[in-house]
Structure 1
């Protein structure tokens, strides 16, 4: 199969960029011919660069022409789009439709329905964009504090909803969780075209180790619930939480009792910490897209204590692969952490169940089968064969 993968990479490489490269590597290893068309936001510099990007975000003629030329030369069976904002725009899908090539769009975040991309504002989950549309966000400058950037996003969302881009030009969508699929369907994305496919991680089986303490792994920012975790640890005697990550709230951890800063860790070091911890703490106060750290924890046999919110409530089987607590509640998080400390055998059972869940749902082989099935379904939808 010939697959054209399209992605607008971020200035600071994140989980979404890693997912794209992982899928491309996987497809090539399976013998597929993959062409990766990658643009980077690093090209955006200065006021004029930001202005041009804002203008192109709604519909980029240059992107339409560029993708058309690539399709003519590469002749893909399918085009898989991960992120088109801001340099490519939804023009990518019009080029695919014009060339009669099926397009698949992975919905890594909520950008096509909400300018915040997170369904969150001022530290609080909000579905205002689903109810009212995106224009409320412009005066708030929710995109990087810029009214211009936010206005460009709001225009993109409104225009493409009105002209039917998502219902008429995209062959299939991939949502990362059933929760996300329901939100997109509520926003008007055709539910019958949405397939649920998680991301995968390829983690070597970790050797058995003595497990103790808790682990937080992620960006130290407000939406990740760092404040909730800090307050919860204050309520516990003898709790130790290793903190792997960096971000704007690093200073909040300085000198805090019970917290052990590790800094940003590489993959191998992270897996070692996961293999020696009793539970991963995931206290996010936003819905999350698909928290890769959760699946990495499962792969390491590490149960997860997470907010009962969004994707986390779907991915953590309460009492089986981990524990859920009331979102934003330091008191409830402290209760669940205390219970974990008092019941090491139960936590060990949850860790084994977490590893079994990883092997059943989140391996590369399972993900590959799901992805190829979606590609073939998209090809069938437009009457195309390999």
Structure 2
């Protein structure tokens, strides 16, 4: 197949960027031709406030670029990973004008929530769920704590609901978990168009030994990721087990200050993926303390590949991924006392923790390998192509 992959990169690279690159590499590895149209959020400041707001709703530039690429390469399918904010939903219409089927991966909740997270003021918020005009988000300046920018996002969502972009211009949506699928259905997307396909890890990093004697956190240093819960739990634990923190983000300075006061906590900053996987493989367990509705949990699946159990907040998609007692443990989200208690249980039961390692690895091999993912992705592409064919017939 000839596939056009479309993605708007984030300023700070994260799981969405990693996952879409892995998918593109897998497609090429399996013999498909993949062209890429991508933008980067570094351009936002140079464009200016009003032009950026207009572009968020409809980018004529992106429309023309995609239309030209499709004509030149004669693509079989367009796979949109993230269109926000520079690319815009105009690319759906460019694909449709050329008769090319469209697949959209739902990597965040942007189609339902102005900030894409269902998270405000340190807790889950669904105030905009089901509202044709997401005015609560505007009232609270939910996107980047900037009201004009939030107005632009809300305008984009409302305009495209009005012209039925989300229901008519996408042939198949990919949700990463059943939890996320149900949220999008509740938000008004057509259930029959949403198929669950998780992310995957490729190449397989191989199982680790788990002999490092430390806990590990990997991810963006931000409030929705539960950094406050994590650090508070380690304050309660008072040095019972070392904690290594890998990642960067807006709470970096707070993490630096906190680790001066909390025993056995080390911040490693950003690290190459090969080093992250090595750290995962030797960790006793990975901590996943998110407080928002994760659409997936790529870091958890990477830990599974290394045979490392995950102690995760019992919320959103991550609660779906971690089977308590078999592939890890669950704790009450935002509750450092409960997290500390689960860590203490793991420390007190090393034999059971060791037994989990094989279960964790088996979970990876059953669900998150590149072979299983490729099989599922081809089924979805065939479904999208079939929908388009029926429309023309």
Report the counterpart of residue 234 of structure 2 in structure 1: 233
1:260 aligns with 2:266: yes
The worse-fitting range, judged by mean Cα deviation, of 305-314 and 344-353 is 344-353
The worse-fitting range, judged by mean Cα deviation, of 281-290 and 314-323 is 281-290
Inter-partner Cα distance in structure 2 for 1:188 and 1:276: 43
1:212 aligns with 2:213: yes
Report the counterpart of residue 284 of structure 1 in structure 2: 290
- The answer as to whether partners of 2:115 and 2:144 remain within 8 angstroms in 1 is no
1:76 aligns with 2:75: yes
Inter-partner Cα distance in structure 2 for 1:66 and 1:103: 16
Aligned-pair distance for 1:337? Answer: 0.7
State the Cα RMSD in Å: 1.7
**3-state SS of 1:67 partner:** helix
Report the counterpart of residue 247 of structure 2 in structure 1: 245
Matches within 5 A, 1:182-201: 182-201=182-201
Inter-partner Cα distance in structure 2 for 1:187 and 1:73: 36
Report the counterpart of residue 99 of structure 1 in structure 2: 98
1:111 aligns with 2:110: yes
**3-state SS of 2:220 partner:** coil
Report the counterpart of residue 156 of structure 2 in structure 1: 156
Report the counterpart of residue 359 of structure 2 in structure 1: 353
Inter-partner Cα distance in structure 2 for 1:272 and 1:13: 20
Task: Give per-residue Cα distances to partners, 1:284-341, cap 9 Å, x unaligned.
Answer: 1111122211011001100000000001110001111000011111111111111100
In the alignment, which of 317, 323, 330 is matched to residue 317 of structure 1?
323
**3-state SS of 1:216 partner:** strand
The worse-fitting range, judged by mean Cα deviation, of 33-42 and 250-259 is 250-259
How many residues align structurally?
A: 384
- In the superposition, the TM-score normalised over structure 2's length comes to 0.94
The worse-fitting range, judged by mean Cα deviation, of 126-135 and 108-117 is 126-135
Aligned-pair distance for 1:211? Answer: 4.4
- In the superposition, the TM-score normalised over structure 1's length comes to 0.95
Aligned-pair distance for 1:207? Answer: 4.6
Report the counterpart of residue 223 of structure 1 in structure 2: 224
Inter-partner Cα distance in structure 1 for 2:209 and 2:215: 17
Q: 1:75 to 1:123 in 2, by over 3 A?
A: same
Task: Give per-residue Cα distances to partners, 1:71-114, cap 9 Å, x unaligned.
Answer: 11111111000111112211111122222211000011011111
Task: Give per-residue Cα distances to partners, 1:169-221, cap 9 Å, x unaligned.
Answer: 11000011110100000010001100111111123214535242211111222
**3-state SS of 1:273 partner:** helix
**3-state SS of 2:48 partner:** helix
Aligned-pair distance for 1:258? Answer: 3.1
Inter-partner Cα distance in structure 2 for 1:115 and 1:45: 19
